[in-house]
Amino acid sequence: MDALSKTKGAYSLIIQSRKKMYAIRDPHGFRPLSIAKLNGGYVIASETCAFDLVGAEYIRDINAGEMVIFEEGKEIESIQLFSAPIKQCIFEHVYFARPDSYLFEKNVYEKRKQMGKELAKERPVEADMVVPVPDSGVAAALGYSEQSGIPFELGIIRNHYIGRTFIEPTQEQRALKVKMKLSPIKKFIEGKRLIIIDDSIVRGTTSKRIVTILREAGAKEVHMRISSPPTSFPCYYGIDTPQKEELISSHMSLKEIEEYIGVDSLAYLSIDGLVNSVGESESFCKACFDGNYIV
């Protein structure tokens, strides 16, 4: 407790001895941490989808600033160590968490679909079909399609043996991976006006590559819609995002990004639209969108 009172920032801790286990969430509750029951004991995870895998029964989230103590033969004990404004990471809803998880007690898939609906209300455009960037844009694209009435098609197929591209260290490696990872279904794409949905644009290179393969496949128009606001600031709370200079929206205007990635139009969901999709504004950290760092 003494050490934690001197510790600032985002953390989730599990400390174990032979007979005891402590689970602790930082005072602002940046990251999720949940408790479930399994075989008469307890398990802790940062994503509830892990509970489904092992057949554990979700009980509750650990509160921001709470220490929960588990001891053999005893009831769970809870100590509220700190009290501070809640700042849950809103980007978990946009990008990090798996859609089958419950995050801060809300279903991720449902929230992402809602972001797509908000995006369709805020940023409509005439087109023949809505195509998600697999898999990051699927839920939002379904929401966009439902709200706009424009048909949803899986026009791009993802090779599931290739992982996330933004963490590859060099530009060449990232470009090669995108090429290996995504391929368009030409029959659907040719001569069509497309709305491409993704959850975010980080450096812009992946989006550029996707637009290029769609143009090569014969797309008539490519409109990109992003189900979160521009990511203009780095995260200092445990997420390994690129430095500010590498975030495309920190140094390029909307028009410049449109030209760079080669789309007919580009639009993002507003911060208000994102917050409306997820929950109350006050309880979220949105620093990578608005630069307001609480710590």
Applying CB under 6 A, does 288 fall inside the site for ligand SF4?
yes
Q: Using the minimum distance from each CB to ligand SF4, give the nearer residue, 155 or 234.
A: 234
Place of tokens 């949803």: 152
In terms of CB distance, is 90 or 195 closer to ligand SF4? 90
- For residue 237, state whether it binds ligand SF4 (rule: CB under 6 A): yes
Does 195 interact with ligand SF4 (rule: CB under 6 A)?
no
277 in the Ramachandran plot: left (φ > 0), alpha (ψ -120 to 50) or beta?
alpha
CB 291, CB 233: distance < 8 Å: yes
Helix segments in the chain, DSSP class H: 2-5, 49-54, 91, 108-122, 138-148, 171-181, 186-189, 205-216, 248-251, 254-261, 271-278, 287-290
Whether the upstream peptide bond of residue 135 has omega within 30° of 0, thus cis, is yes
**Nearest-angstrom CA–CA distance, 179 and 78:** 50
48 vs 88, beta carbon nearer ligand SF4: 88
Contacts (CB under 6 A) with ligand SF4, residues 39-68: none
Neighbours of 193 (CB within 10 A): 16
Which of 175, 176, 185, 239 is close enough to bind ligand SF4 by CB under 6 A?
Answer: 239
Number of residues in contact with ligand SF4 under rule CB under 6 A:
11
**Considering the complex, what minimum distance in angstroms separates the CB of residue 10 from ligand SF4?**
6
Amino acid at residue number 136:
S
CB 287, min distance to ligand SF4, A: 4
Q: Which of 178, 172, 286 is nearest to 229 (CA)?
A: 286
286 binds ligand SF4 (CB under 6 A): yes
Q: Which is nearer to ligand SF4, 70 or 233 (CB)?
A: 233
Q: Among 64-72, 89-97, 149-157, 164-172, which window interacts with ligand SF4 (CB under 6 A)?
A: 89-97
33 part of the interface to ligand SF4, by CB under 6 A: no
Is 287 among the residues that bind ligand SF4 (CB under 6 A)? yes
Q: Which stretch binds ligand SF4 (CB under 6 A): 106-114, 174-182, 205-213, 279-287?
A: 279-287
| Shorter beta-carbon distance to ligand SF4: residue 186 or 244 | 244
Least distance to ligand SF4 from the beta carbon of 294, Å?
Answer: 9
Sheet holding 41-45, edge to edge: 41-45, 34-38, 57-61
Q: Nearest to residue 48, comparing CAs of 120, 118, 107, 135?
A: 107
Chain contacts with ligand SF4 (rule: CB under 6 A): 30, 89-91, 235, 237, 239, 285-288
